[in-house]
Amino acid sequence: MFTVIKVAITSLLIVTISEVSKKSVLMGGLLASLPLISILSLIWLYIENKDIQQASQFSYSVFYMVIPSLPMFLIFPWLLKKTNGSFYISLTIASLLTIACYHLMLYLLPKFGIQFS
């Protein structure tokens, strides 16, 4: 039952952001930029496990994984212009470049002594 509640609340949040974005892209962008999914994930993790250390590690991992996701928000609109509005092509290329950025981050983090379990 708890899983159903988690899915319902999280889904409602995503639908709300999508609907707000139709009316105001700035407000939609603001809502989407808030770490709401991360906050909900922290809440669900804590409710289920009551493990402060796990919540702390999760928070650190989110911090480091947000960094390689940021270029997508610059690459995607640039690609839209370069491809004359080819949405799916631009999104695919931007997503693949983001995956490459994630791989680079996962390669670099241990070089700086940052490990996650």
Q: Structural domain of residue 78, as residue ranges?
A: 68-116
Give domain status of residue 20, yes or no. Answer: no
Query: What are the backbone dihedrals phi and psi of residue 51, each rounded to the nearest 5 degrees, phi first?
Result: -105, 100
- Side chain identity, residue 91: L
**pLDDT by residue (tens digit) across 89-100?**
999 999 999 999
Domain contains 38: no
Give the 3-state DSSP-derived string for 55-80, with helices as H, strands as E and coil as C.
Answer: HHHHHHHHHHHHHHHCCHHHHHHHHH
Q: How far is CA 106 from CA 57, 66, 100, 111, 117, in A?
A: 15, 12, 10, 9, 13
Q: What pLDDT, in 10s, does the model give residues 32-86? A: 888 888 999 999 999 999 999 999 999 999 999 999 999 999 999 999 999 999 9
User: What pLDDT score does 116 carry?
Assistant: 79
Q: Would residue 100 count as lying in a domain?
A: yes
Q: pTM, whole model, 2 decimals?
A: 0.77
Pair of tokens at residue 111: 């070089």
Domain-located, residue 24: no
CA angle 41, 45, 48 (to 5 degrees): 140
Counted domains in the chain: 1
* Residue 99 belongs to some domain of the structure: yes
Give the Cα separation of 13 and 53 in Å (integer). Answer: 27
> Above 90 in pLDDT, residue 109?
yes
Q: Is position 94 within any domain?
A: yes
78 within a domain of the structure (yes/no): yes
| Residue with tokens 């960094």, as numbered in its chain | 67
Residues 6+ apart with CB under 8 A from 71: 97, 98, 101
In a domain, 72, yes or no: yes
